Amino acid sequence: MARATRRVRFLAASARGPAALALVALATSAATAREPVRPRMAAGLPPATEAAEARGIVVLRPPRGGRARIGAATFAMGSTELELLRGFAMCRREPFGEQHDAQNEAYCDPRELQSELPRHAVTLSPYFLDRTEVTVGDYDRCVSSGACGAPGYPRGDARFDRANFPVTMVTWEDASAFCEWAGGRLPTEAEWEFAARGIEARTFPWGEVYNGHLCNHGSLAEDSTDGSDGFTGLAPVGSFPDGATPTGLLDLAGNVQEWVQDRIEARVLPSGGVITGYSAAPVTNPVSTSGVGHYARGGSYRTGSHTMRAAARAPLISTTQGDYIGFRCAYDH
């Protein structure tokens, strides 16, 4: 089954002239649900937990269900110039990192990362966040109640329609409707990023060093899926406990990108250029409510290593029903 998906590409102003605002249509096809044998040891990690338990060692794992409480805090949101360069370098190391598409546009364009600038202070009130992405089983109950629209995949399709898979092919409106039905809401961008980065402003949910065995990632290549993490398609939620945050939040990097509340707010510069980055001023509980489309966060099984960074932002058309897009919910109490 092939499904056309679309994303919005925002180009920030460059030294060579005003910024361009372009809409790019991308066609993707659903991934095969084959699951190769997962490595028993991830590079740089202790031996597999199974081996540890066999020796009588008690291994603590984060809970896979429920919600985590995130306390009030002020943190540094966004990226520095140096972090942006590191993200661009990660993109360039992907198989297509130094190539151009059919429109002669670079697959890795540093201007596309500039929406992460500048790093700025954000103060958040306490909130709760789902430990895992919303599953197919959970979402089906909302569909049965009449509160949510059906996802875009055919019923019974083993690549997507499994109770413990994250639900995919849902629009932003459907994701928002589910969270309201569940007594919550979609998280704001700031809430999502703080949950992934913590007060330490981690680069990845688990720490500073990228490890492809800690998330269900893809690749910037002819075949966007990548089985080196153990899955060539979707993975059951919580399949990567070693990639959890210190608060026990799972899959904030990879598996599926996650819808957030914020709209894509483009600001017009005095020079006439358009930029989608943040304001440098400190803010409290920010959320963008005007603009076109919405952001998704966290990378997916179809995207490369640079998108697994907690600061990475993906602008999307709100009606997109991608097989790589899901969500989780936030709650005020």
Domain edges within the chain: 2-27+65-331
pTM of the model: 0.82
Residue position matching structure tokens 């680069």: 203
Establish whether the linkage from the previous residue to 187 is cis, with ω within 30° of 0.
no
What would the two tokens of residue 106 be?
Answer: 């670079």
Q: What is the pLDDT of residues 180-201, one digit of tens each?
A: 999 999 999 999 999 999 999 9
What would the two tokens of residue 271 be?
Answer: 């020079």
Paired with 77 in beta bridges are 120
Give me the chain's average pLDDT, please.
Answer: 85
Q: Report which residue type is found at 238.
A: G
Is it the case that residue 275 has pLDDT exceeding 80? no
Determine whether 331 is exposed, middle or buried from the number of CB atoms within 10 Å of its CB (0-12, 13-18, 19+): middle
Q: What is the pLDDT of residues 48-100, one digit of tens each?
A: 444 555 566 655 565 667 999 999 999 999 999 999 999 999 999 999 999 99
Enter the CATH code of domain 2-27+65-331.
3.90.1580.10
Which of 72, 17, 28 has the alpha carbon at shortest distance from 300? 28
Determine whether 81 is exposed, middle or buried from the number of CB atoms within 10 Å of its CB (0-12, 13-18, 19+): exposed
> d(Cα 18, Cα 13) in Å, to the nearest integer?
5
Is it the case that residue 34 has pLDDT exceeding 70? no
Comparison of pLDDT for 276 and 175, the residue scoring more: 175
Determine whether 69 is exposed, middle or buried from the number of CB atoms within 10 Å of its CB (0-12, 13-18, 19+): exposed
In angstroms, the Cα distances linking 318 to 21, 58, 101 are 17, 45, 24
Length of the chain: 333
What would the two tokens of residue 297 be?
Answer: 């966060």
Least confident window among 56-65, 104-113, 143-152, 165-174: 56-65
Q: Report whether 299 contacts 258 (CB < 8 A).
A: no
The pLDDT, as a whole number, for residue 291 is: 86
> d(Cα 311, Cα 192) in Å, to the nearest integer?
10
Q: Report whether 185 contacts 179 (CB < 8 A).
A: yes
- CA of residue 53 relative to chain centroid, distance: 32
